[in-house]
Structure 1
């Protein structure tokens, strides 16, 4: 069993309760495309119920071919040139007598000429570059390295820039995952700086995790949380305590069969009062290309949704929410979503 991250201990129940409900926006359109050289583009546009519109364009490059270079660089050849690679320069490929690979090197050249040579010769490098630009004129660049420094270790560097205010941000995220352990560390280098760490250990389906935040400038712990859970192939349960162990939540998810899923979540805030919030949801797969979902909470707010694959690459989502205690008022919401993928 794969050990989830701390935030994903109750993921099955949270996804059932929150994902694929399309009433949250009046309209959403998403276009995804992939190029032959491992570049994925995604354009997203949303219109809120308050008539506000927003959008973002994202480009993501994954150097997939570097993970399987044995067809281009025979294993024996790579081993014989390991020492030479460590002394790599811009002429490394020619000095080692290795034929340059044929896949596109646009991303390598984007980094630097020196970097492009190192990338061509390092078998295990797993690089992903993601750049996003949205209608708030915010520019984000994320660079990921997976299984490069150590097996199971992923490092992310996130750079953000707001041209209007000249505000900059730099974040470093580390994830280390093993068979019975999943740990993460998030560093905000310019704001604070601050650090947030969490870890989960697991054994035979049982999970236990904790998280904590720390402000370096204030030299103080900013928050802490804890969680326990159990995950099985057909069901899962979790209890979490967040916001300095003041907000408690218990969730349950059950995959009844191949068509039906059900889940529930109860939340209690020890600071605000004794009332317990409850939410239940269910998902029913109508056929191989469509499903319907429904949920309702203790306040009487119900939501329904319908998702169908119209044709390969085209998905339609419809959703609505109703306040069953105020049916005569205009508190209801309706939304639609289109996703195009190639």
Structure 2
């Protein structure tokens, strides 16, 4: 008798370990501040802002999230500095075990722009499937599914334009997840873009990963390659580094200053333009982020 299979990751989380290793904690595009608080009545507030070094523009938002864990209900409201109002209602395990429903909408009063997306996700042993309907864009129906067994993963995604009556996007992926490593291969953009990612937990304190992307429609040709690593200095600090085949080196350092206070510093250097004297110029980037979580 075979053991029950674990729930596989969703389509968007295929290759997540490698993507997080190469994409997160590199805060070199500006100065960012994030403040989080939690009330006794299960209401969480988050205020976030960022100043872009290149344009000097400041963008921010304030978010409020109320959670009823007993009934699986979550309500999130966000207001941005560009005067966009976002609302999201989530229902988790309310109608059936493993079923999550949510409605995400946004409204820009000044422009009269609005969006509304209905989402459904269902996960069980060996299966994780999702579907969404973009009400105002198309409308477009998108569905994806990931099947998993003994660490092997197979997934597919497709988007269908209801008004036009045609498939607008399709993609596929295969992968393998083990406790210490993960490999994922994607065929995206109607099988025109191919990516392969690899993640390896070398030891308790060291992680490594790589990602290669080939776009058959790109005019420059060739493969975009990126490799990176993460090292924990101690329980409160870690360093990340990565380099791509364009010669750009990125460094990240994250330090927990005290419980609930975290600082992250980032630096990106274009090794082909090391003579650029301005560290915040177009060739090199530097930034910092502070997070306060109470």
Distance 2:107 2:218 in 1: 37
Which has the larger helix fraction? Answer: 1
Give the match for residue 165 of structure 2.
219
Alignment of 1:226-305 (within 5 A): 226-272=172-218, 274-305=221-252
Task: Using structure 2 for the length normalisation, give the TM-score.
Answer: 0.94
Does the residue aligned with 2:17 lie in a helix, a strand or coil? helix
How much does 1:160 deviate? 1.3
Give the match for residue 5 of structure 1.
10
How much does 1:5 deviate? 0.6
Q: Which moved more, 1:155-164 or 1:272-281?
A: 272-281
Kindly indicate whether residue 51 of structure 2 is the aligned counterpart of residue 44 of structure 1. Answer: no
Partner residue of 2:286 out of 318, 327, 334: 334
Alignment of 1:76-115 (within 5 A): none
How much does 1:149 deviate? 1.2
Give the match for residue 19 of structure 2.
14
Give the match for residue 253 of structure 2.
306
Alignment of 1:26-175 (within 5 A): 26-49=30-53, 50-64=55-69, 66=70, 125-175=71-121
Give the match for residue 90 of structure 1.
none
How much does 1:271 deviate? 1.8
Q: Structure 2: any 5+ residue segments left out of the alignment?
A: 1-5
Q: Which moved more, 1:240-249 or 1:184-193?
A: 184-193
Give the match for residue 193 of structure 1.
139
Distance 2:268 2:104 in 1: 36
Does the residue aligned with 1:325 lie in a helix, a strand or coil? helix
The answer (yes or no) to whether the contact 2:65–2:75 under 8 Å persists in 1 is: yes
Does the residue aligned with 2:94 lie in a helix, a strand or coil? coil
Query: How many equivalent residue pairs?
Result: 282
Give the match for residue 3 of structure 2.
none
Which has the larger strand fraction? Answer: 2
Q: Structure 1: any 5+ residue segments left out of the alignment?
A: 67-124
How much does 1:166 deviate? 2.5
Distance 1:282 1:168 in 2: 41
Q: Who wins on radius of gyration, i.e. which is larger?
A: 1
Distance 1:236 1:39 in 2: 36
Task: Using structure 1 for the length normalisation, give the TM-score.
Answer: 0.81
Distance 1:296 1:169 in 2: 37
Q: Which moved more, 1:34-43 or 1:324-333?
A: 324-333
Does the residue aligned with 1:7 lie in a helix, a strand or coil? helix
